[in-house]
Amino acid sequence: MKRKNPFITGTIILTMTGLISRIIGFFYRIYLSRLFGEEGMGVYQLLNPVLALSFSVTAAGLQTAVSKYVAGGISSGNARSPFRVLMAGLAVSLSLSFVCTGSIIRFSEWIAVHFLLEARTASMLRIIALSIPLSAVHACINGYYYGIRKTGLPAVTQLLEQFCRVFCVWSAHRLAARYGTVPSINVAVVGLVVGEFFAMLVSIGGAYFRYYRAVSSASGPASSSPAPRSPSCFRLVLDLLSLAVPLSVTRIVINLLQSVEAVYIPSRLQACGYTPADALSIYGVLTGMALPLIFFPNALTGSMSVLLLPIVSEADAAGNQAAIRRALGKTLYSCLLLGCTCTLGFLCFGRTLGRLLFQSPLAGNFICVLSLLCPFMYLGTTLSGILNGLGNAIGVFFISVSSLCIRLFFVFFLLPRFGIYSYIAGLLFSQAFTTCCYLLLLKHLLRKR
């Protein structure tokens, strides 16, 4: 199977790796919540918007662009062409990442106070900024490996990053325990940087080894026809940017809206009457404990979405509408079954899970209420994969932006008056809206065909 269809094999490898990584990350969050408490988790979660935005600017679009043009370089028959693409991508990504890192370090106090609205994140921002160039290198090399349809190294580095992160925090905790103290939440940020560093080192080593093998093979017996001439570095950079910029802009818009939502939840809770410490605790329980548990089964539907995209794309290209309808029918049935089962399970055992896993009764209450998300969220994930497979990524983008705008309405106008449960109602409403829009768009597309 590996020789006949490396794409499916690679997808399965990444899917299994993603599941293992999510399991590690889930228990890691439990460990962090017990080590640093609810308020500490709230402060730590505030860093996510900065990380997401910086990755969108420096690496997200370039990873996809490198993957596309590396695949084209392989088909050209020039052994060095894929590595020239990788070098051009690294040059652009690293340039952007150094600017981003310097800006975050220079303006960390301003970002902490005026953007994240929490002064305690300033020192954490200066630490986490160091991970941006590391993740840029890691992402570009991953894009190269996706382009040559080899997913082994990206899978290994993903797991290595998680293990190093957990080991770093665990070691710091053990060391502090000898002196009768507890490490600060900054240790979790250091662990993130350490994980990215080792993942980058392994990525560079793997890429160099593959380059050495490719060049050695190309310099073997002389070929009767000369190798095709590679485009100039400047041309490669322009080609990469032509594809990366639209992708990055899309990611930036969505991440910016998500960042505004995440940053303003604690401040809107304070407007509702909570103290700053209580607001951060509630935010930490919701986003760092309850939501990750609700999202955990979504790893299965996320894997299904990844596998559905090539299947639907191939059926659409062949004009096989029956295959698309079969895929849609199986998706609706399996996701609704999984979603309803998880809803029932979280409703029955949510409070028990909150006490056992996180030692937080509030987390248990949130889990019970958020359980109603499951059918809509799991179905929406796979429907987005089908729509992307049908080539309607623009429709998915506008529906996602509309859903985020609905959630922002609840954050700014209802959360200060009715508290955190009004925001949870906004999550439910926006997710139901997204799923219904996906279904209507799919119905429209299938009817047109």
Examine the domain organization and report whether 339 and 208 are in the same domain.
Answer: no
The overall average pLDDT reported for the chain is 85
3-state secondary structure 286-350: HHHHHHHHHHCCHHHHHHHHHHHHHHHHHHHHCCCHHHHHHHHHHHHHHHHHHHHHHHHHHHHHH
Q: Are residues 63 and 140 in the same domain?
A: yes
My answer on whether 3 and 75 are in the same domain is: yes
Say whether both 336 and 415 belong to one domain.
yes
pLDDT at 356 over 60: yes
The pLDDT, as a whole number, for residue 224 is 47
Distance (Å) of CA 148 to CA 6, 69, 90, 142, 158: 10, 10, 17, 10, 18
pLDDT higher at 197 or 223? 197
326 and 241 in one domain? no
**Which tokens in the block code for residue 239?**
């080609």
Provide the pLDDT confidence category of residue 134 given band limits of 50, 70 and 90. very high
Instruction: State the average pLDDT over residues 316-343.
Output: 82
User: What's the pLDDT at 307?
Assistant: 58
Answer yes or no: is 145 within a domain.
yes
Is 124 a member of any domain? Answer: yes
Decide if pLDDT at 151 tops 60.
Answer: yes
- Write out the two tokens for 137: 């290198």
Specify whether 261 is located in the same domain as 325. no
Whether residues 265 and 152 share a domain: the answer is: yes
Six-digit token string for 442: 């799919």
Residue 390 gets the label, from left (phi > 0), alpha (psi -120 to 50) or beta, of alpha
pLDDT cut 90: percent of the chain above it: 46
Of 225, 241, 273, which closes a domain?
273
User: From the CB of residue 126, how many other CB atoms can be counted at a distance below 10 Å?
Assistant: 18
Task: Please indicate whether residue 294 or residue 322 has the higher confidence score (pLDDT).
Answer: 294
Whether the per-residue pLDDT at 75 is higher than 70: the answer is: no
Query: Could you give the C-alpha distances from 48 to 185, 192, 210, 442, in angstroms and in order?
Result: 14, 12, 34, 32
Residues 250 and 384 in one domain: no
Same domain, 45 and 103: yes
Task: Summarize the confidence of residues 360-369 as an average pLDDT.
Answer: 94
Question: Within a domain: residue 67?
Answer: yes
Whole-model pTM: value is 0.76
Domain shared by 136 and 204, yes or no: yes
Domain of residue 310: give its range. 297-449
Q: Find the range with the poorest average confidence among 59-73, 121-135, 308-322, 422-436.
A: 308-322
Indicate whether 282 belongs to any domain: no
Is pLDDT at 280 greater than 60 in this prediction? Answer: yes
Instruction: Decide if 226 is inside a domain.
Output: no
Average the pLDDT over each of 26-35, 47-56, 143-152 and give the range with the smallest value.
Answer: 143-152
Alpha helices by DSSP H, 107-219: 108-110, 122-128, 131-147, 152-178, 186-218
Q: Is residue 198 part of a domain?
A: yes
The pLDDT tens digits for 381-425 are 888 878 876 767 788 889 989 999 999 999 999 999 999 999 999
Which residue did the predictor score with more confidence, 277 or 81? 277
pLDDT digits (tens, 9 = 90+) for 231-241: 667 788 888 88
**What total of structural domains would you count in the chain?**
2
**Nearest to 230, CA basis, from 444, 59, 73:** 73
Is position 222 within any domain?
no
pLDDT at 429 over 90: yes
**Residue 17 to residues 161, 305, 378, 379, Cα–Cα distance (Å):** 12, 15, 20, 22
Measured CA to CA, the distance from residue 332 to residue 436 in angstroms comes to 12
Can you give the pLDDT at residue 270? 93
pLDDT tens readout for residues 245-258: 887 888 889 889 98
Are residue 202 and residue 320 in the same domain, yes or no?
Answer: no
**How many Å apart are CA 52 and CA 47, to the nearest integer?**
9
Tell me the pLDDT tens digit for each residue of 85-101.
Answer: 899 999 999 999 999 99
Whether residue 267 sits in one domain with residue 314? no
Do the domain assignments include residue 73?
yes
Distance from chain centroid for Cα 353 = 25
